[in-house]
A and B are shown apart, each in its own frame.
Chain A
Amino acid sequence: MNTATVSEEEGHEEHHDHGLSDIGYIKVAVLLAILTAVEVATYFFDFGVVEIPSLLILMAVKFQIVVSYFMHLKFDSKVFTYLFLTGLILAMLVFAAMATSMVFWQNPSGCDASAFC
């Protein structure tokens, strides 16, 4: 393995560590725009029972794309992922705790779905 090869490999590795190229980011943005368009389409067209699950899935996918590529979590240290996930999981626990206190405790017979709608 000569010096030039080592240098090329290091450069390649460095590129991966820092994320995508500008064109790569533009492609990601186009994908996000398409997903947003699909989201908005659910307002104009009736998607029936799959409307809410599909909106939640689209939201999660967009969230994941921005965090992974634009915020570089996919390329950065796992420490950042753990820090962020901790906050995210605690936020979900906050929602679960609030749902418990405001729905279940007020209606001991079970969850009153109408409280959310």
Chain B
Amino acid sequence: MADTAEAQTSELAYGRTEWDDYHHLPTNTGLTNEKVTMWAFLGSDCLLFGALISTYLLCRNRVGPATKGPTAADLFDIPFTSVSSFVLLMSSLTMVLAVTSIQRAEMERCKLWLLTTASLGSIFIAGQVYEFTGFYREGLGYTTNISSSAFYTLTGFHGVHVSLGIVMLVTMWVLVTRGILGPERAETIEIIGLYWHFVDIVWIVIFAVVYLIP
């Protein structure tokens, strides 16, 4: 008992605040609330994308009698989208390397991998903007037909998720650079990583179901 009290006093002496101790209280499950919350969020996000993908699949060839025009599937540039998919897939590797780096207290490497991940995500978003611009020039607007609305809503929501992920990654980079986020809080990077990998797996499904399956 005395040892525990001494250890707590020692931890406080090394700069830990009372808020930190409250924040890291052991839970009944032995899991941190932040990580459980992120997984619960990802589970709920499955529902969002499940609904959007279902809507697209059911509307992909329905242009409607009064609203003609091309469908997104008519305009897909598969080689280009394949490169984008590869870029996003590799960003998952750099993300996991950022997590392992901070767990080993290799802060410089962690910063490098975080920036690389954000850059790969930005390349993916730039590719999506380029793709959407091309589609629009070919006459496929958001309201052209029900198929295009479903396509832009699905891929647009995914793009917003990637963009939010980039913002979170850059924020993490700033926090690590300023020394606010250290190895003792590696789980924060891990949680951001979970979100990033989720965005990647959603694209794995979209790429196969929307782009590749004829």
**B-contacting residues of A (Cβ < 8 Å)?**
18-19, 21-22, 25-26, 28-29, 32-33, 36, 39-40, 42-43, 51-52, 55-56, 58-59, 62-63, 66-67, 69-72, 77, 79-80, 83-88, 90-92, 94-95, 98-99, 102-103, 115-117
Q: How many positions in chain B have a CB within 8 Å of any CB in the partner chain?
A: 52
Interface status of B158 (Cβ within 8 A of chain A): no
Measured CA separation A89–B196 after assembly (Å): 21
Interface status of B136 (Cβ within 8 A of chain A): no
**A-contacting residues of B (Cβ < 8 Å)?**
29-31, 35-36, 39-40, 42-47, 49-51, 53-55, 57-58, 60-61, 78-79, 82, 85-86, 89-90, 92-93, 95-97, 100, 103, 190, 193-194, 197-198, 200-201, 204-205, 207-209, 212-214
Q: With A25-B93, A59-B205, A84-B43 known to touch, is A116 a contact of B57 (CB < 8 Å)?
A: yes
Measured CA separation A95–B97 after assembly (Å): 35
Measured CA separation A18–B30 after assembly (Å): 15
Q: With A63-B204, A87-B46 known to touch, is A95 a contact of B213 (CB < 8 Å)?
A: no
In the complex, what residues of B have CB within 8 A of residue A63's CB?
201, 204-205
